Structure 1
């Protein structure tokens, strides 16, 4: 029997050739105690083995979008959002999972907080083999609620995309995922959601995130920090209020220094110098310690370049 009417929740699941993990992710949806959902799987040009599995899913609540490969999750997510019919959007990556009560608990939390149009939960971490990850050395979990825009800019609020449920209209008002933002696209969206609505937090680990997966999209640190610089550059001009824009500018300056060091360590001294040069106009006045630290990075990059010539 087809599922009648519009569902309450549209689950957005992008995937590309992660069949073993994808099976577990989908299974965690099928066992949800709340069942008024649709799942839109956006396949980013997977191989035949994965496509065969997706074609075999018989649940009428599941729709598969067959996309050409781009390697950009934001594009796949936006395509799925465009097909969604639910009042709420819930996000799940193909290598992660949900606890069975995830949707039920989070929707109940939103119902009792009508001023909040989005929500997130705590998460558990597992490794590539599904074993729990030791949290020693990791930043402690703090359940920030309400207006968390500043907490997001400082990355004090730790939010996994798998932990988020948001009103579909809110996500559309915010513009969806920025497809030009190759890394940090989730935090970019969170900031835009937080500018429009306070957030409700559920202080329970209802999502399970796979850390240390060798295929993880965020494994390339240089590209990751390029993404953070891009994110802070954009929001330094769009955030409301001088304080938030100043935080974004200082965070951009800090991430430029980290990016320059990563370039130097990777043997890309000219890229490091170019990064520091581009950072001068926006960093010297807004972040006074930047000049001294940048000068040290210039010396380091030049020294490394000289060593390679010897």
Structure 2
């Protein structure tokens, strides 16, 4: 039985899939299986994935396109490993990712979620997003995170190309929500981190590519099925970190809908936001006239293209 099951959901990533696969095969820990879930790609993704020969690779095929959450769920259902982890088909691991997860699992046996820091690559510029970690958290150290939600207020402390779960945890958390097209990671994070403890390696062990065409986070969200934040509100009443995390997420969606001039959904999320928990810059962005808001967004885009990532926090 492999120690790790690695799941790569794949849909039309022909330009990147071999890079992702090779980053797994080049790990300095070799006891893993690699499950590639082809979600009915219409480009050369499947052909290119099959070109790489390794006994640890299994390719799973969907009969119809089902989306990212379903692809991850298919991989989980077929996984044999004790620890299950994910890699998006357009991202890549550094060679020490799996060995870092193994170290976390040994150092913190009480934990069932294992995450690492990550770098972002934007137009060939590499940046490390700002995290809201305690000041006592030192780079290159293995730590236990007491409150994932507070730590992830600025930027997520892990993405879904640098997090792993024990099999026990996944059996209790349940599947990724296939009724959500955008925000499925957020939904899963809440269910996971309210039930299990997180061990974290404060070193970038993965590369997250921001400017990939057809990336879910860069596509329009107006036609997507969104997460229902209200289902977590009652739980958040007794968890201040989760309450702030939900409020920050609502801010994100309000900003996205303002950007797309969807007045109905913008007003919906504005009504749900607790503005006392936002920064001055966040409130200014949401309440500014649209022409001024667009100037702010244009300036931010200019900086991002030059490798400078700023936040409204």
Q: Given the two structures, how large is their TM-score scaled by the length of structure 1? A: 0.75
Partner of 1:212 in structure 2?
211
Say what the alpha-carbon RMSD is for the aligned residues.
3.4
Corresponding position: 1:27 with 2:26:
no
| Length, aligned pairs only | 278
**Shift in Å, 1:73:** 0.7
Map 1:139-218 to 2 at 5 A: 139-140=130-131, 142=133, 145-151=144-150, 154=153, 157-218=156-217
Deviation at 1:212, TM superposition (A): 2.1
Alpha-carbon distance in structure 1 between the residues aligned to 2:277 and 2:196: 34
Could you list the structure 1 runs, at least 4 aligned residues long, displaced by more than 6 angstroms after superposition: 286-290, 297-301
Q: SS state of the match for residue 162, structure 1?
A: coil
Match of 1:268 in 2: 262
Match of 1:66 among 44, 61, 84: 61
Q: Compared with structure 1, are the counterparts of its residues 185 and 204 closer, same or farther at alpha carbon in structure 2 (3 Å cutoff)?
A: same
Report Cα offsets for 1:156-180 as digits up to 9, x if no partner.
6421111111102201210131112
Structure 1 Cα separation of the partners of residues 21 and 275 of structure 2: 46
Residue of structure 2 equivalent to 1:234: 231
Provide the C-alpha distance between the structure 2 equivalents of 1:96 and 1:289, rounded to a whole number of angstroms: 33
Partner Cα distance (1:156, 1:134) in 2: 12
Residue 112 of structure 1 corresponds to which residue in structure 2? 107
Distance 1:148 1:226, change over 3 A: farther
Deviation at 1:105, TM superposition (A): 2.1
SS at match of 1:120: strand
- The Cα offsets for residues 34-86 of structure 1, whole Å up to 9 and x where unpaired, read as 11100110111013622222333432211111114436211100011000010
Q: Does the 8 Å CA contact 1:152/1:191 hold for their aligned counterparts?
A: no
Structure 1 unpaired stretches of 5+: 1-5, 302-310
In the TM superposition, residue 257 of structure 1 has moved relative to its aligned partner by 6.3
Q: Provide closer, same or farther for how the CA distance between residues 186 and 116 of structure 1 changes in structure 2, counting only shifts above 3 A.
A: same
Partner of 2:12: 17
State the SS of the aligned residue for 1:145.
Answer: strand
Contact 2:132 2:150 in 1 (8 A): no
Where structure 2 has 5 or more consecutive residues not aligned to the other structure, the ranges are 138-142, 291-313
2:85–2:164: 8 Å Cα contact kept in structure 1? yes
Specify the SS of the correspondent of 1:179: coil
CA distance in 1, matches of 2:247, 2:166: 33
- 2:77 matched to 1:77? no
Task: Quote the Cα distance in structure 1 between the aligned partners of 2:277 and 2:51.
Answer: 58
2:126 corresponding residue in structure 1: 133
Higher helix content, 1 or 2: 1
In structure 2, the CA distance between the partners of 1:298 and 1:169, relative to structure 1 (3 Å rule), is same
Q: Indicate the SS of the match to 1:86.
A: coil
Deviations 1:79-99 (A, max 9, x none): 110000100001100011111
CA contact (8 A) 1:119 1:164 kept: yes
TM-score for both structures, normalised by structure 2: 0.75
CA, structure 1 residues 200+16, in 2 after alignment: closer, same or farther (shift >3 Å)? same
Q: Which residue of 1 aligns with 2:51?
A: 56
